[in-house]
């Protein structure tokens, strides 16, 4: 399941997320942590899809380092260098 807070686009965070916040530390422009205290555990989600090569590289770094393998990329809608 993909969290509903994810901004639509090629990157999204799934319910595999353990709330470690590594993606937020790596790409704070693109990821945020859920601060809702009513949920059982914290999790992260995409707040902004990358719109430049630097943001894309940081998002890919987050994908590759995620210990829960919770960040997905849509292979049919890959970043192409400035297009949204």
Q: Is the predicted pLDDT of residue 80 greater than 60, yes or no?
A: no
CATH number, domain at 66? 3.30.70.20
Query: Per the structure block, which two tokens stand in for 64?
Result: 């590759």
Residue 62 tokens, joined: 């987050």
User: The pTM is what?
Assistant: 0.83
Q: According to the model, what pLDDT value does residue 76 have? A: 40
Domain count, the chain: 1
pLDDT tens-place string over residues 17-47: 999 999 999 999 999 998 776 766 789 999 9
Structural domain of 35: 11-72
Strands (E), the chain: 11-13, 31-33, 44-46, 71-73
What whole-number distance in Å separates Cα of residue 47 and Cα of residue 28? 9
Residue 59: per-residue pLDDT: 97
Nearest to 23 by CA among 54, 52, 53, 64: 64
């Amino acid at each position: 399941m993909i969290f509903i807070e994810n901004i639509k686009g090629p990157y999204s965070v799934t319910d595999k997320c353990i709330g470690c916040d590594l993606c937020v530390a790596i790409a704070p422009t693109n990821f945020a942590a859920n601060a809702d205290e009513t949920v059982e555990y914290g999790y992260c989600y995409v707040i902004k899809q990358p719109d430049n090569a630097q943001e894309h590289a940081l998002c890919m770094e987050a994908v590759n380092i995620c210990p829960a393998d919770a960040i997905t990329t849509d292979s049919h809608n890959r970043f192409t260098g400035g297009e949204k």
